[in-house]
A = this chain, B = another copy of it.
Amino acid sequence: MANSEIHRASTTAPVNIAVVKYWGKRDANLNLPTNSSLSVTLAQSDLRTHTTASCSSTYTTDTLTLNSAPQSLSSPRTQACLRELRSLRAALEDSNPSLPKLSPLPLKIVSFNNFPTAAGLASSAAGFAALVRAIADLYALPQSPSSLSLIARQGSGSACRSLLGGFVGWNVGTAPDGSDSKAYEVAPAAHWAELRAIILVASAAKKSVSSTAGMQATVATSPLFRVRAAELVPARMGAMEEAIRRRDFEAFGALTMKESNNFHATCLDTEPPILYLNDTSRAAIRAAEGINKAAGKVVAAYTFDAGPNAVVYYVEGDTERVAGSFKRILANVDGWDGDRGWAVQGQGLEGAIEESTAEALKEGVSRVILTGVGEGPMKTERHLVDEKGEEVLNMEGS
């Protein structure tokens, strides 16, 4: 092995959108949550982070770029991820002296997101999942995705769920060291491959309160939050897993909406109040209610993370009723031109969405993203660092 060899591994990792929300840490250093949560991993054809991890003695220090811009690696959270991954590699090297000594080498990590970061979509989950998965592959670590999720969790809580595909739970755990607070598979993507989502991206509204600061304020000041964490979420985890197991969209959808509203209620009950839902979000809620009323049952289920963008779940058979009803109004915005978009006729349910609601959506939605349930991180040979250790242009295309 030449001393100047460049070791590389590349992966893509998905975004996930929770249907039982993570909000509140019981330990900020270890990123241990106050309650369990459950998410749907979204297809990487639509939204993904592509990351190459490389190491070489020719590098002088650890570096990270995201969309070609240098990023700091100095946060305690990122350092915790790197430290734990290096430690696992060092243990491998100790047990097998024939392995190359990668653990002491500087890392060069190069990442690209294929979605607009300005869109306010939570990219940290995909980002940390890709970082952990790529370094784990670089180091040929034998740990399962669930074990690796313990490391990703320390980078960004919800990142732990992006290490698996399909329907993913994150167990709150009880161990003080966090060793049982990790992601687990509720069902693979193939179990309910018909699950789709349309994301209504609200016009550039910068998130005013960071999730980390916001959730700790909620834990500290909201008297309603303790009921949510201690009583409601535990019961809802079981009900949500059951709905997914049975592919019961009405149960899944009703609980998804109720759960999103409950989470945002505790945000509003925070001192000072956290208001992520804006008039566009309100209109998305009204639109989904109108669609469900016209359909006579729950066919559209909205949920909102820590921002105004609506994610509306539906099943493939209801594409026209749900995505079609939105296309009827929002045909002029970006996002309908992909494979999934062309398949939406845009007839929708006539009259399902009231005129004032339609106006608010037209005014406030800047683009849509059509997606669906998808797989966990995937290895790729498309490296973002070339054989000489130089960052390459992202060759992904769209």
On A, residues with C-beta under 8 Å from B are: 222-224, 227-228, 231-232, 257-258, 261-262, 264-266, 268-273, 275, 277-279, 282, 285, 289
Residue of B nearest to A266 (CB): B265
Q: Provide the residues of chain B in CB contact with A232, threshold 8 Å.
A: 223
B279 touches A278 (CB 8 A): yes
A258 touches B278 (CB 8 A): no
Q: Provide the residues of chain B in CB contact with A257, threshold 8 Å.
A: 271-273
Q: How far is the CA of A232 from the CA of B223 in the complex (A)?
A: 8
A265 touches B275 (CB 8 A): no
Q: Provide the residues of chain B in CB contact with A265, threshold 8 Å.
A: 222, 224, 265-266, 268-269
* B269, B275, B285, B289: the one within 8 Å of A262 (CB): B269
Sample 7 A-B pairs with CB under 8 A, ordered by A number.
Answer: A223-B231, A223-B232, A261-B271, A261-B273, A265-B269, A272-B289, A275-B285
Q: Provide the residues of chain B in CB contact with A285, threshold 8 Å.
A: 272-273, 275
Q: How far is the CA of A282 from the CA of B266 in the complex (A)?
A: 16
Q: Provide the residues of chain B in CB contact with A258, threshold 8 Å.
A: 271
Q: Provide the residues of chain B in CB contact with A279, threshold 8 Å.
A: 278-279
- 4 additional A-B pairs beyond A223-B227, A268-B268, beta carbons within 8 Å, are A223-B262, A224-B227, A261-B268, A275-B282
Q: How far is the CA of A223 from the CA of B263 in the complex (A)?
A: 12
Q: How far is the CA of A228 from the CA of B271 in the complex (A)?
A: 16
* B261, B272, B278: the one within 8 Å of A269 (CB): B261
Q: How far is the CA of A271 from the CA of B257 in the complex (A)?
A: 9
Residue of B nearest to A261 (CB): B273
Q: How far is the CA of A269 from the CA of B262 in the complex (A)?
A: 5
CB of A264, distance to nearest CB on chain B (Å): 6
Residue of B nearest to A280 (CB): B279
CB of A108, distance to nearest CB on chain B (Å): 39
Residue of B nearest to A282 (CB): B275
Q: How far is the CA of A258 from the CA of B227 in the complex (A)?
A: 17
Q: How far is the CA of A268 from the CA of B264 in the complex (A)?
A: 8
